[in-house]
Structure 1
Amino acid sequence: MGSTAFYPEEAPVHTVTVGVFAIEQHPVTTAQFGEFVEATGYVTIAERPMDPELYPGVDEADLVPGALVFRPAEGPVDLRDWRQWWDWAPGANWRRPFGPDRDPAAPDHPVVQVAYPDAAAYAAWAGRRLPTEAEWEYAARGGVDATYAWGDEVTPAGALMANTWQGRFPYRNDGALGWRGTSPVGSFPPNAFGLSDMIGNVWEWTTTRFAGHHRPDTDAPACCPPPADPDPMVNQVLKGGSHLCAPEYCHRYRPAARSPQSQDSSTTHIGFRCVAVVG
């Protein structure tokens, strides 16, 4: 796993052995997450007021339930400043990802606005768990040793293989097969293992703690039990890229790509899928 061809945090290339596991065919959908909430009464991080002890210096009036949402810029912006296209939306959550006055989430799209503990809670309820980074990358590669999950060409024979940004980020999105945000799971070709949306659509949580590079020569744990309360100072590894990934900004729609995200983050481009140990 890993790569030395793109971003430094993907290095070094190294061999990892994983046990036998099964992984879900597609990301958990809004409908599936809704079944979990209905059965348990679970309240997501985005639906809870923020703890002032975790966010010192923030006005208590701003510590209301809500989440980060993507807002297209009006034109070209400095791509080093993500605040140009991300905004805090009070009341945004998995039911209405862009806010209470916006459309409800589509039932067949990946659930979004789920923080790391939310994803872990769903997995435990389902009798499963979240994947480690190594498990996720093995599944995404589908037995193919190539740059992308489908080969070395990003659009083989002109075919769009994943839901990624089409146009000029972050202000002009021509849509991936017509979708300018998340798409229904399974809308794009599966990989060689028959898995859908491993690349693009939404980033996916893993149980691996993020470091600035892979640490194959250490015995650092690959995963750990999710905390009862998320730690905004701890980053988990996200995998797979999303519908917001573009060549000029986020060339991370590849199995080896990885990105850090704090455990308490809920956004419009992060989801998850679960794994089960076999045997």
Structure 2
Amino acid sequence: MVFVKGGTFTMGAQPENREEGPPQKVSVGSFWIDSTEVTNAQFAAFVKATGYVTMAEKPLDPAVYPTVAKEDLAPSSLVFTQPQGQVDLRDPSQWWQVVKGADWRHPAGPGSSIEGKADYPVVQIAYQDALAYAQWAGRDLPTEAEWEFAARGGLEGKRFSWGDSAPDGRSGNMWQGPFPVADEGTDGYRAQLAPVGCFQKNGLGLSDMAGNVWEWTNTWFRPNISSNGGKASIPPESDALDPDEPGVAKHVAKGGSFLCADNYCLRYRPSARTPGPPDTGSSHIGFRTVKRTS
């Protein structure tokens, strides 16, 4: 883990997306944070020690999904499937599929495996799975403010975690080219995850704070950033709101993923944020943990 000395910073930005503002001064205390995303090997050790079963490995609750057919309640998760032709970028269902049998051990579904990928970020992890791991390790998930403060690496007001220059092949695992039909792979990883720690670290020595996988925070999502008198706050669950899916409480995810491209998403910036699905994972969401000093 890397020690992050607390301080005050400008959280958010003049919105490039509707949910990223308004920018405001926010203070956070000191904390330790994982230098990389939690890996398959680390999560496997947790499962071996506890027998934990992730959300993706459990069937959906018919009481929560009364209109879903019984056969569709089987354990499943979201998997990115690259389309073969042009798509309507307003319709993510053209590149996301619900795949039965997809879970952290089989991130793309039955037949896929994490064998030989011990140092890759664990994915297909729902929020409560990430929180369970963090608590087992004696830690927590970061608040949105803690995560963004760490991601900025000491750079105030910069667009990216490395500054204002456009990303290059060393910046992080992102999508180069027109999403979702063609990833040029100039970063060395074409339309796929990368092992943790492959790319340049930010000013605090943290890897993968831009791209590779989205990362869970413990902050409930609202369509703007939240503060309380300049101190980072977590709104109660009752205040959570995703305008695109009212009534479904979601947590904030940060950092973007290998699917973020200039023509779509562009959310590998520290100020960027997205609502994470409440009861499932996907093939591009992982996490890292924090340990606060007070």
TM-score of the aligned structures, taking structure 2 as reference length = 0.88
Aligned residues: 271
- Contact (CA 8 Å) 1:200, 1:240: kept in 2 or not? yes
- Contact (CA 8 Å) 1:160, 1:176: kept in 2 or not? no
The aligned amino acid for 1:72 is: Q
Runs of 4+ more than 6 Å apart:
none
Asked if residue 233 in structure 1 is aligned to residue 248 in structure 2, the reply is yes
State the distance in 2 between where 1:95 and 1:223 align: 33
Could you say what secondary structure the match of 1:122 adopts?
helix
Q: Residue in 2 aligned with 1:40?
A: 50
Asked if residue 152 in structure 1 is aligned to residue 168 in structure 2, the reply is no
Q: Residue in 1 aligned with 2:5?
A: none
Asked if residue 252 in structure 1 is aligned to residue 267 in structure 2, the reply is yes
State the distance in 2 between where 1:263 and 1:210 align: 11
What is the correspondence of 1:44-193 to structure 2 with a 5 Å cutoff?
44-104=54-114, 106-145=117-156, 146-155=158-167, 158-180=168-190, 181-193=192-204
Question: Displacement of 1:176 after TM fit?
Answer: 4.6
Segments of 5+ residues of structure 1 without an aligned counterpart are 226-231
The aligned amino acid for 1:127 is: G
State the distance in 2 between where 1:165 and 1:13 align: 27
Per-residue CA distance 1:21-71 (angstroms, 9 max, x = gap): 110100000000000000000000000011011112000111001100000
TM-score of the aligned structures, taking structure 1 as reference length = 0.93
Asked if residue 265 in structure 1 is aligned to residue 275 in structure 2, the reply is no
- Contact (CA 8 Å) 2:226, 2:234: kept in 1 or not? no
State the distance in 1 between where 2:264 and 2:271 align: 17
The aligned amino acid for 1:239 is: K
Asked if residue 204 in structure 1 is aligned to residue 219 in structure 2, the reply is no
Could you say what secondary structure the match of 2:27 adopts?
coil
Segments of 5+ residues of structure 2 without an aligned counterpart are 1-10, 238-246
Aligned residues: CA RMSD: 1.8
Question: Displacement of 1:221 after TM fit?
Answer: 4.8
Asked if residue 215 in structure 1 is aligned to residue 226 in structure 2, the reply is yes
Identity of aligned residues (%): 51
